[in-house]
Amino acid sequence: MTYGDKLRIMRAVRNMSQRDLAEATGIPGTYLSNFETGTTLPTEEKMDAIKEALGWTDLVQDALEDLEAALDEG
């Protein structure tokens, strides 16, 4: 599972569009789109802003990794 996959999942869980996330983070929607498609990866600063806006904690990261492992087994 890529960073972009995880980002899309987190937006869906929070019921946020890319536009909503762009407004919450100050990161242009075109950048967010590139992050989701894997064209580019965010800087640490942008990643922190995204995580804060989405409530993406260490516990959530662990759950995403568990999901990834379960999908790999499937």
pLDDT interval class at 57 (50, 70, 90): very high
**Tally of domains in the chain:** 1
pLDDT-derived band at 74, boundaries 50, 70, 90: confident
Per-residue pLDDT band at 62 (split at 50, 70, 90)? very high
| Domain containing residue 40: CATH number | 1.10.260.40
At residue 6, the pLDDT reads 94
Q: What is the pLDDT of residues 3-55, one digit of tens each?
A: 999 999 999 999 999 999 999 999 999 999 999 999 999 999 999 999 999 99
d(CA 1, CA 8): 11
Domain of residue 67, residue span: 3-73
The sign of the CA dihedral 58, 13, 3, 47 is negative
